[in-house]
Amino acid sequence: MKRIINTEQAPKAVGPYSQAVEVNNTLYVSGQLPINPETGNFVGNDVKEQAKQVLQNVGNILDAAGYSFNDVVKSTVLLKNIGDFSSVNEIYATFYGDSLPARATYEVANLPMGALVEIETVAAK
């Protein structure tokens, strides 16, 4: 059975999709942008600030669904500039500690709303 996850602790979807969907004890978290859910505005112009907000949003969605960063098995990181790879890694590591999921990172031509980073995640129980 499919369960739609929606929390006020993460930004509303900027299109026709859910924040996350759970199926068969697997949670698929939609790509998160650096939007502060309280204000609806982007956080900072720096990739580190944006990555921190993105991961806070991911964490809030995981929590709302009864998951944690320890349950994450795969992440995809989309970067406006691949030169930001090490800066994003620095922030990313603080959220995952020793429980590192599989991951792919890509440079993309553009991200929604001019973001510098977007992260989508899959978690499993």
Rounded mean pLDDT of the chain? Answer: 97
H helices present in 22-123, as ranges: 47-64, 85-96
Q: Locate 6 and state its tokens.
A: 């929606």
Check pLDDT > 90 for residue 101: yes
Q: How much of the chain, in percent, has pLDDT values that exceed 90?
A: 95
Q: Does domain 2-124 sit in CATH 3.30.460.80?
A: no
The model's pLDDT over 51-98, given as tens digits with 9 standing for 90+, comes to 999 999 999 999 999 999 999 999 999 999 999 999 999 999 999 989
Q: Is the pLDDT of residue 14 over 90?
A: no
Residue boundaries of the structural domains of the chain:
2-124
Joined tokens for residue 89 = 């890694």
- As beta bridge partners, residue 23 has 2, 26
Reported as a pLDDT band with limits 50, 70 and 90, residue 26 is very high
pTM for this model (two decimals): 0.97
Return d(Cα 86, Cα 27) in angstroms, integer.
Answer: 27
Work out whether the CA dihedral 74, 96, 10, 38 comes out positive or negative: negative
